[in-house]
Amino acid sequence: MNNKFFITTAFCLTALQYTFAQEGMRPEMSEFYEPVTPVVTPGKDLPGGGFTAPSDAIILFDGKDLSAWENTQGGAAEWKVKDGVLTVDKSKGDIRTKEKFENFQLHIEWRIPEDIQGDGQGRGNSGVYLQGMYELQVLDSYKNATYVNGQAGSIYKQTAPLVNAMRKPGEWNVYDIIYTAPVFKEDGTYRTRPQVTVMLNGVVLQNNTTILGTTEYIGFPRVVKHGAGPILLQSHGDPSAPISFRNIWIRRM
């Protein structure tokens, strides 16, 4: 007898065992009712795209003030808040959340100025740093060529977005981000690397993408052991008009 016979026989026996196991089963034998799934009230649609926070979200910016934020030295965040919109003040540097996070769902809406000037990386440049370590690029990528792993929706200098789903300057863009924090070994190397899924304006740009390490401007990713970290918004030094943000909220997962 050859191997094919034994494999075929084993397959048939397994199929018979499965069939016998199903006999006498009732629908309720594969159903469970606890723990009960928590109820979350979803947000409401906003004009120009996006939607308000669900009931279990932590509000990071609701258009009123920057009480949830600080500068990178721990002082007051001093970007401009007007008419429900947060605008980068390039003279004040980056800002970050006071709270720190691990696994989360993050929603953030951003707008390139309608009168934006410049090209490439010098056109509406900013970034959303996950755990303060890993940059999701913000840039005007509407008819603006640059290196593809540096355009909007890229994990900066690592992974290009699957598509370009930018709206034109003056319109709101909406990021929805699902992030899984890394786990480290005792020696400081990754046990599991950070993972991220990103949607821009409802279109998937990053699909469970593995982040290789820190997102360096010069050089390649480094592995830096860390714990929970903030959401950081970048005040980039490009000469173009500063971009704006609104409706920022996060859900721990």
The pLDDT of residue 51 is: 83
From first CA to last CA, the distance across the chain in angstroms is 54
Copy the structure tokens of residue 32. Answer: 């469970």
Evaluate whether residue 7 is within a structural domain.
no
The pLDDT of residue 216 is: 96
Evaluate whether residue 34 is within a structural domain.
no
The pLDDT of residue 240 is: 83
Evaluate whether residue 33 is within a structural domain.
no
Evaluate whether residue 209 is within a structural domain.
yes
Output the domain CATH number for residue 210.
2.60.120.560
The pLDDT of residue 14 is: 60
Whether the bond between 35 and the residue before it is cis, its omega within 30 degrees of 0, is yes
Instruction: Specify the number of domains making up the chain.
Output: 1
The pLDDT of residue 20 is: 57
The pLDDT of residue 4 is: 52
Evaluate whether residue 6 is within a structural domain.
no
Evaluate whether residue 107 is within a structural domain.
yes
Evaluate whether residue 75 is within a structural domain.
yes
DSSP 60-129: EE-SS--TTEEETTSSB---EEETTEEE--TTS--EEESS-BSSEEEEEEEE--TT----GGGSS-EEEE
57-85 pLDDT, tens digit each: 999 999 999 999 999 999 999 999 999 99
Range of the domain at 139: 40-252
Q: For the chain, which residues score pLDDT lower than 70?
A: 1-22
Evaluate whether residue 24 is within a structural domain.
no
The pLDDT of residue 87 is: 96
The pLDDT of residue 28 is: 84
The pLDDT of residue 52 is: 87
The pLDDT of residue 68 is: 98
